[in-house]
Amino acid sequence: MTSSVLDLAPVVPVVVLEDAADAVPLARALVAGGLPAIEVTLRTAAALDAIKAIAAEVPDAVVGAGTVISARNVSDTVAAGARFLVSPGWTDALLDAMKASGVPFLPGVSTTSEVVALLERGVTEMKFFPAEAAGGTAYLKALSAPLPQARFCPTGGISLASAPSYLALPNVGCVGGSWMVPADAVASGDWAHVERLAAEAAALRG
């Protein structure tokens, strides 16, 4: 695997799973559609089991953990098989834990000061969250001149329609989104629909 989460695919699906039994067929559909990097968020009780299942049964997937907000989250998800970590924000303690984990990570930022603080700590790849609410493409474009060394995965409110404008920015490596994993399709097991949406997203280029 590349050491950079940002270079795996143009879009990283952000997945919320209520039932771990859905994890493997969902991951297979996303991979078949061309989206190998899958962020399973720690928003449900099924998340750790879902990460374990994908790591064990879908070898072509690169499964990661999202909503990582504590050192315990880091250790639990890496033990479950997570190959990258994504946080909505960061603290020194969380950053230390993610750095020590041995897997790539994207700490979340929404302000210029947070970006500068991460650069000071040697981190150049970050999640920009919540992207739309925090200023969207205009904000990221404004950051690129003074802080060209920072690269981002914007997540939060991004759609198929808005993703290309993000991907066109020089400081954006990929975007995160959940439009290709609609809750109704997951609930009904319509994996063919998920695969079609994933293929549409995988075809996006800046």
Known catalytic residues? 39, 127
Integer-rounded Cα Rg, in Å, for the chain is 16
Query: What is the DSSP pairing of strand 105-106 with strand 85-86?
Result: parallel
Beta strands in 21-91 (DSSP E): 37-41, 62-66, 85-86
SS3 173: coil
Half-sphere exposure of 7 (CA within 13 A, CB side): 6
How are strands ordered across the β-sheet holding 108-109? Answer: 108-109, 125-128, 151-154
